[in-house]
Structure 1
């Protein structure tokens, strides 16, 4: 089996537990365990697209491809712990939407970005995503672990998509980035 197929199968396997939930229609995050944390990024387009976009952008624009995803995962954990501890982070929802606009534009732009700048940008976006998760879900260790594993898997899928698909055609990153930015703009307009 080729590596891209393995990555796709891994991401699809993360979604499979949702098919066997004993209580469909109830809150997915009722128990706060590992599976709940792993499923959470898959339940909202804003988080799902942002995490895939970080991987794709990193694959297309950052020489050290893992630096932005690692910074994202680390700061996602920090933001989640802060949100769970009760820290009120102003502008969480607008910043999540703005992160989609920014990531979309960065994907479409197709310019090399220094590793430190990529890590700082991804980390700042991630803190807001994490604060939203922490406020909404709390921060049990299993929940946090599931969320971080799913986030890393989505980054991996985004990197694979960036390297194997988007990098092959100049117009494809521009179209994909524009769609990601459009989702962010739509979310911002809904918040207004």
Structure 2
């Protein structure tokens, strides 16, 4: 990476970060945690969740091909499994640290335009999804409304993945000459967003 390119990426990433909503990062419920609506809102109630899930979609679009659906699918499957682990009270240490680490890792994968074998890429996002799923599942109520809650956060997660994929497709369509530059800027924005969350944690 040339020096002038580095500064372009940095300025672009800072600009994108400033455009992000200043959402509170919290994984403990407020009020009633049951039902579809609470599940739908949980992933978008924390900037750390938003960063990771959009980054998954963006990285999938950057890689292209089967990765477009396989990488988000790996995240979703692992997230469901870990949410069930949390629901049944199985302890998992370092959940908050794992969530923040996932933002940094996904941001760096984008920033350096990492193109790994599909199985490796799916494995990485699957491992990172465990922490997000556990945070969601820890709030799942032990009632029938727990199913609605789970469906809600799955839909919300899928929409965030689709947002990342959509951004990636828009980059490929409207910036065909320099797509990697914009993917790298997106990765830088994710990393800076993770720094912001970490400082405010």
Output the TM-score relative to the length of structure 1: 0.78
Q: In 1, Cα distance between the equivalents of 2:94 and 2:172?
A: 32
1:75-97 Cα offsets, whole Å, 9 max, x none, are 11111111111111111001100
Does the aligned pair in 1 maintain the 2:107–2:189 contact within 8 Å?
A: yes
Name the structure 1 match of 2:187.
Answer: 177
Structure 2 counterpart of 1:159:
165
User: What stretches of structure 1 of length at least 5 have no aligned partner?
Assistant: 1-26
Q: 2:153 aligns with which of 131, 147, 157?
A: 147
Moved over 2 A (4+): 136-139, 165-171, 182-191
The count of corresponding residues between Structure 1 and Structure 2 is 165
1:40 aligned residue: 42
Distance 1:31 1:111, change over 3 A: closer
Asked whether the 8 Å contact 2:140–2:150 carries over to 1, the reply is no
Partner of 2:93: 90
1:9-39 deviation line (CA, Å, top 9, x unaligned): xxxxxxxxxxxxxxxxxx6661511122111
Rounded to whole Å, the distance in 2 between the matches of 1:175 and 1:84 is: 37
Structure 2 residue aligned with 1:51: 53
Which deviations, in whole Å up to 9, do the C-alpha atoms of 1:27-72 show, x marking residues without a partner?
6661511122111111110111111110001110253111110011
**TM-score after normalising by structure 2:** 0.75
User: Which residue, 115, 118, 121 being the options, matches 1:118?
Assistant: 121
2:106 to 97, 103, 108: 103
